[in-house]
């Protein structure tokens, strides 16, 4: 398949780990057609083409025929239609066709990327070598030219995709942390592939991430109209600031290099991905209120990267943690312009425990975190972190236990009149009730012997602590004692008894007001009797 025209020579891609460029003479079949398909160099505003009629048959350069379905979208480059292969009729369209006027350019740039770097055989070989379940690059099927009403159209046949993440983000405001980290890992797989094939994407954002149509649990990075060949023929572009080209790309997420007018590089892509993940997790970015001022946005991004990791850790929403993103940004910020990122290390930062990636969950954002991270894991930074941002303070546990105990006491006060009446109607005395209460408490203590550790929140960043809000549906609610703020992994009855706070806590739980009064009365009586005995012994 021919991919471009370079000084009179058509270029074809041969699949390998990094696709090789091979030159052919212009006498090769289809070279004239491809020369005609070249985008002009003039710079003018792109015009949307006149819509093509539904049912029109298009012939691509491979000789395949495609029937146009209904138009499903449009963009700055052209129109998007559903497509049906004429040789395999199907009711549910699994392909789309993008069309633009031949003199336009964005679709031509995307076409060059797919022909040079994203042929199906190249992607399949990469997935097999890297042992991936899939690679989030849409499948490219073909391209060609067609005429309608005296105008020439360029078209490209692609795999049909589903909803984009921007629509889901507008609904939810933010994503769960597990979802954000999984998206980051999936995008690193894509970036590693396209970077190895001499391209950078340059415009990563939620609107360009689409779920699969047939496989909605997969995510794909689409829209390569702004893709840039940063390393043609193995020669990396040189670092050169050009203020005339400053602030290119989507201002909210574009890299600092793009703000300075520097050509995109691999570090630009991973930096943009970091901004996207921060936006998906926290729901906003520090510079969102100044998007009309590109210089202010550049200054805010510079400040964020210069004050790492505190600048990212402070930006987290309550109940969540940006620890992984802080370390991600620190690694990216230390990359040289022409350096190759360590993609495996970046994925390890986002998933330190190596948890297998599951289905993406785009339900309403929850504060809990579903991917486990070591509590004492440190970020490599010259600035020390005094306290992990994702660790619940000790007073939080005490507050929960205190609120639970207060609620239980209120319920007991409401039930006290009924309890007193029942006590008068039954011959059971207070001493018998105490024995039963002590038996219940002893049964609870024995249950700790079978428990190997405190319950943990699944995938949570916080330390394990006792769930004081859980109540037994069979027995009446009973508050549990407050133990130390730093429990150990295997805490049994022996450890509890050795704690100096154990017996005061048990007495606080088991002695009611009536029991305390009895203890005081009997204690005073015993004291008086002992006094009388001592006096009698003295006189004798």
Active-site positions read 203
Q: How many residues does the chain have?
A: 540
| Nearest partner of 177 among 286, 280, 274, 270, judged by Cα | 280
Eight-class DSSP state of 228 = B
Angle, helix 323-333 to helix 294-306, in steps of 10 degrees: 100
Two tokens at 540?
A: 């004798």
| Interior/surface letters 93-112, b for 16+ CB within 10 angstroms, e for the rest | bebbbbbbbbebbbbbbbbb
Angle at 407 between CA 409 and CA 412, to 5 degrees: 30
Angstrom distances, CA of residue 386 to CA of 42, 309, 349, 376, 389: 57, 12, 20, 11, 9
Do residues 287 and 296 make contact, with C-beta atoms less than 8 angstroms apart? yes
| Direct distance between the N- and C-terminal alpha carbons of the chain, in angstroms, rounded to an integer | 122
| Cα separation, 19 vs 21, whole angstroms | 7
How far, CA to CA in Å, does 276 sit from each of 205, 348, 369, 406? 6, 18, 18, 44
């Amino acid at each position: 398949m021919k991919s471009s025209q370079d000084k009179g020579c058509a270029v074809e891609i041969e699949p390998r780990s990094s696709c090789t460029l091979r030159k052919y003479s212009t006498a090769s079949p289809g070279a004239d057609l491809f020369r005609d398909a070249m985008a002009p160099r003039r710079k003018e505003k792109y015009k949307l083409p006149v819509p093509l009629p539904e049912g029109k048959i298009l012939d691509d350069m491979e000789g395949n025929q495609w029937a146009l379905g209904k138009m499903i979208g449009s963009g700055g480059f052209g129109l998007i239609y559903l497509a049906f292969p004429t040789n395999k009729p199907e009711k549910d369209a699994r392909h789309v066709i993008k069309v633009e006027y031949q003199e336009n350019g964005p679709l031509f740039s995307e076409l060059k990327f797919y022909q040079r770097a994203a042929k199906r055989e190249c992607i399949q070989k990469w997935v097999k070598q890297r042992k991936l379940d899939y690679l989030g690059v849409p499948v490219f099927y073909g391209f060609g030219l067609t005429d309608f009403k005296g105008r020439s159209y360029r078209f490209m046949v692609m795999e049909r995709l589903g909803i984009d993440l921007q629509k889901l983000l507008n609904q939810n405001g933010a994503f769960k942390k597990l979802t954000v980290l999984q998206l980051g890992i999936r995008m690193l797989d894509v970036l590693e592939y396209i970077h190895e094939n001499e391209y950078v994407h340059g415009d990563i954002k939620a609107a360009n991430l689409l779920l699969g149509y047939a496989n909605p649990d997969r995510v794909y990075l689409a829209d390569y109209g702004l893709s840039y060949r940063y390393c043609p023929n193995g020669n990396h572009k040189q670092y050169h600031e050009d203020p005339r080209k400053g602030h290119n790309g989507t201002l909210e997420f574009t890299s600092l290099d793009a703000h300075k007018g520097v050509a995109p590089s691999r570090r630009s892509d991973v930096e943009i991905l970091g901004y996207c993940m921060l936006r998906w997790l926290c729901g906003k970015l520090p510079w969102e209120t100044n998007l009309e001022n590109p210089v202010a946005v550049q200054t805010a991004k510079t400040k964020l990267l210069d004050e790492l990791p505190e600048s990212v850790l402070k930006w987290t929403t309550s109940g969540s943690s940006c620890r992984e993103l802080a370390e991600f940004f620190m690694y990216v910020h230390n990359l040289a312009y022409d350096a190759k990122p360590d993609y495996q290390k970046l994925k390890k930062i986002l998933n330190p425990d190596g948890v297998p990636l599951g289905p993406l969950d785009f339900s309403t954002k929850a504060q809990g975190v579903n991917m486990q991270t070591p509590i004492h894991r440190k970020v490599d930074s010259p600035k020390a972190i005094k306290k992990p941002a994702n660790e619940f303070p000790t007073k939080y546990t005490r507050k929960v236990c205190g609120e639970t105990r207060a609620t239980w006491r209120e319920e007991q006060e409401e039930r006290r009149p009924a309890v007193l009446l029942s006590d008068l109607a039954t011959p059971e005395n207070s001493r018998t009730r105490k024995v039963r209460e002590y038996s219940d408490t002893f049964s609870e203590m024995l249950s700790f012997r079978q428990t190997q550790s405190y319950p943990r929140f699944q995938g949570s960043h916080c330390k394990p602590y006792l769930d004081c809000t859980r109540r037994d549906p069979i027995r009446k609610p009973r508050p549990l004692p407050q133990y130390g703020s730093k429990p150990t992994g295997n805490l049994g009855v022996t450890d509890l008894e050795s704690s100096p706070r154990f017996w005061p806590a048990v007495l606080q739980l088991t002695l009611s007001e009536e029991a305390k009064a009895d203890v005081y009365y009997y204690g005073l009586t015993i004291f008086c009797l002992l006094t009388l005995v001592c006096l009698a012994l003295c006189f004798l």
